[in-house]
Structure 1
């Protein structure tokens, strides 16, 4: 195995990235997960924009927050079940079934949009959350079945880059569909996305059952508990999983704070908010692909602490840059924002933070996949997803409390504080992850 890794380390990374996108082993999974993530964010943002601009709900804020909670809840409860199902069944066949079910969920979303029905749209969003929770362990657990070990970093880099680009495009499409298109056109788009996702899943190669004797536990709470225990049993696996979960929490909290900072401190409108989201998605893509280029086929964890330091630095600078700014009184457009020194600084910090994040998470998740036992791989990924969801929920709730009137911390202070905490995360991964890997 070591000989293969050493030989792969000398291979050119860019041809490998391009080659993977052309191969039957990887391309169908790539496009299936791209359309799936696009679909999730399309429906979620369509619902948010529908609440804000078409229904004119007085309690828009809580209703939008409820949408996030409805989508995240299944990941906390069903990731363990998804991991067990993925190990007990052929992952490719299970993917086909889930993506066919997604078509039915899209029908509910389309009817909900047609009737402007919040209950139907919430139902569709919950259905998408369930499918996402069950699909998560599959899409990461199947990669080592489809790719060689020296291709894993490149495969994960492409998946992470595509995920954030799909999130960005889905958010834009969802917003435009709710406020700028006819219901008929949006319904056709909803069905086209679901059909494209299902069609891509049909070409994913069969992998066989990793654990054919495994009996799936229908008690989701017991399976969640058991998977967390399994992840914690291996100290190295646990430390990597904690680091990955920290990344997702950092990203979720940052994406909840930055739009408020831009609106309140610079007066940036929807166009500016969209541009900053584009910088974030672009940064994640660059960082993820850079991780593959640096690794050259190896699973290289040494740069991870440096990436955490980069995340810390950009977050601290983002907080310091906006802390003393007065509250904006007028709305500005993209050219005005990017022609100002503070606009360029914010854009640079957001892109730098996202790039560092891609460099941070890709090697860590690849190491988890590569070192997990084959018969347990999907369940391990499910356990990691449970941790991710728990970190995100805890981080967002704590942020809400710190933003509340009773505490009153401003968004720039919270961004800087998150940066300081990332200094601790850098020390943690250096001590528990990269040093042990070396």
Structure 2
């Protein structure tokens, strides 16, 4: 493995502006195209396919988990990001041309799986340790704003014109690819990397084993996986819950409520930064324990204003829960297998959880179970899972 050399670039250098722009437009398009894909299957009278859209997107993350990190390190990361954005663009164009939304969104998932390790890995090549944390914060801020705008604009455009929605998605992916051209073309961190599939799979399995044998990293992996599995399911469930509970049938309302959850996550993350440290990480369990009851409260909500407030509260609990656990995993990963390998394992575990949670929701939809019963079951399962995780953690301490 070659030595990682940092350029020690200024935080607001043109290269960083280009990187933030590429991430912003790529994340915006990722979220807008999901809303557009949901609008397509609903217009085709196939609402039961909505959960399968998310399944098709996360499946490539699981299949490619052992390989994408090696790709990110084996080639210049800016070029990896460019290639990944072009794959996403191809998927959006295929969906626009009439291809199966499931297949096209799955192809976008392939691009996203390749893109993820490269966008974070390039930061350590561009910046020294003195500004690396702030650079990561700027990247996260760009992503959060893009998610908010992506779901809101995606919902509004999908309700007015699917053609305009896809024009926006294609334009955003195109702008992301264009911005990629201005990211510094740094040398590959591991230009001599091998790509022997079985060897990579064995290395990945070893990293997975190391993290799950460590009590702190296992706790973090399980907790963040539960958060992302439940969060992804809630995003999809809103498209069935809003018409049933609020009697609103557009695509913009559930998209806006998804945005309210994101706002809550930001507020919860800010609260976690003030109230929770690695030494007091068990405080994060309070946020996790409140997620189940907050989702159960959806059963009693029939007004949009109350729904929006509850979504912010759910997001707040989630942010309070997941942010400290992410920090704990990064620290333990750095001490054991390296932060990059820890990120690959975390992505794998979280996407497995998404597949399982969304799969259960899809089964409930296919079985014709009412959305009220589904929400109740989802809240109870989440409460039981986080409760068990809490009991195991406190017993250990």
Task: Say yes or no: does 1:192 pair with 2:151.
Answer: no
Q: In the alignment, which residue of structure 1 is the partner of 2:389?
A: 425
Task: Say yes or no: does 1:248 pair with 2:237.
Answer: no
Separation (CA, whole Å) in 2 of partners of 1:178 and 1:259: 13
Q: In the alignment, which residue of structure 2 is the partner of 1:4?
A: none
Separation (CA, whole Å) in 2 of partners of 1:302 and 1:268: 45
Task: Say yes or no: does 1:360 pair with 2:329.
Answer: no
Larger CA deviation: 65-74 vs 236-245: 236-245
Separation (CA, whole Å) in 2 of partners of 1:199 and 1:293: 38
Separation (CA, whole Å) in 2 of partners of 1:240 and 1:147: 27
Cα offset, 1:391, TM superposition: 0.9
Separation (CA, whole Å) in 2 of partners of 1:413 and 1:420: 11
Cα offset, 1:230, TM superposition: 1.1
Contact 1:136 1:382 in 2 (8 A): no
Separation (CA, whole Å) in 1 of partners of 2:15 and 2:23: 14
Select which of 106, 111, 125 maps to 2:105.
125
Count of residues paired in the alignment: 381
Output the aligned Cα RMSD.
Answer: 3.5
Select which of 26, 33, 54 maps to 1:68.
54
**3-state DSSP class of the match of 2:195?**
coil
Separation (CA, whole Å) in 1 of partners of 2:336 and 2:125: 8
Unaligned 5+ residue runs, structure 1? 1-18, 329-335
Query: Cα 1:105–1:276, aligned 2, differ >3 Å: closer, same or farther?
Result: closer
Separation (CA, whole Å) in 2 of partners of 1:148 and 1:294: 28
Separation (CA, whole Å) in 2 of partners of 1:189 and 1:151: 34
Separation (CA, whole Å) in 2 of partners of 1:322 and 1:122: 29
Q: In the alignment, which residue of structure 2 is the partner of 1:39?
A: 29
Separation (CA, whole Å) in 2 of partners of 1:218 and 1:93: 22
TM-score (norm 2): 0.80
Q: Deviation per CA, 1:9-59: give whole Å up to 9, x if none.
A: xxxxxxxxxx95x34464433332222122122222212212323xxx24x
Separation (CA, whole Å) in 2 of partners of 1:178 and 1:308: 38
Q: In the alignment, which residue of structure 2 is the partner of 1:216?
A: 195
Query: Cα 1:365–1:214, aligned 2, differ >3 Å: closer, same or farther?
Result: farther
Separation (CA, whole Å) in 1 of partners of 2:328 and 2:186: 21
Query: Cα 1:374–1:418, aligned 2, differ >3 Å: closer, same or farther?
Result: closer
Select which of 68, 78, 84 maps to 1:82.
68
Select which of 57, 82, 85 maps to 1:99.
85
Larger CA deviation: 207-216 vs 146-155: 146-155
**3-state DSSP class of the match of 2:189?**
coil
Cα offset, 1:261, TM superposition: 4.0
Q: In the alignment, which residue of structure 1 is the partner of 2:357?
A: 395
Task: Say yes or no: does 1:384 pair with 2:364.
Answer: no
Q: Deviation per CA, 1:178-232: give whole Å up to 9, x if none.
A: 441373x45543332122111222333445433343202346xx64454133132
TM-score (norm 1): 0.73
Query: Cα 1:48–1:274, aligned 2, differ >3 Å: closer, same or farther?
Result: closer
Q: List aligned pairs for 1:169-188, cutoff 5 A.
A: 169-181=149-161, 183=163, 185-186=164-165, 188=167
Q: Deviation per CA, 1:247-297: give whole Å up to 9, x if none.
A: 2112123334455444433435545434422211111223334555668xx
Separation (CA, whole Å) in 2 of partners of 1:395 and 1:350: 19
Query: Cα 1:248–1:429, aligned 2, differ >3 Å: closer, same or farther?
Result: farther
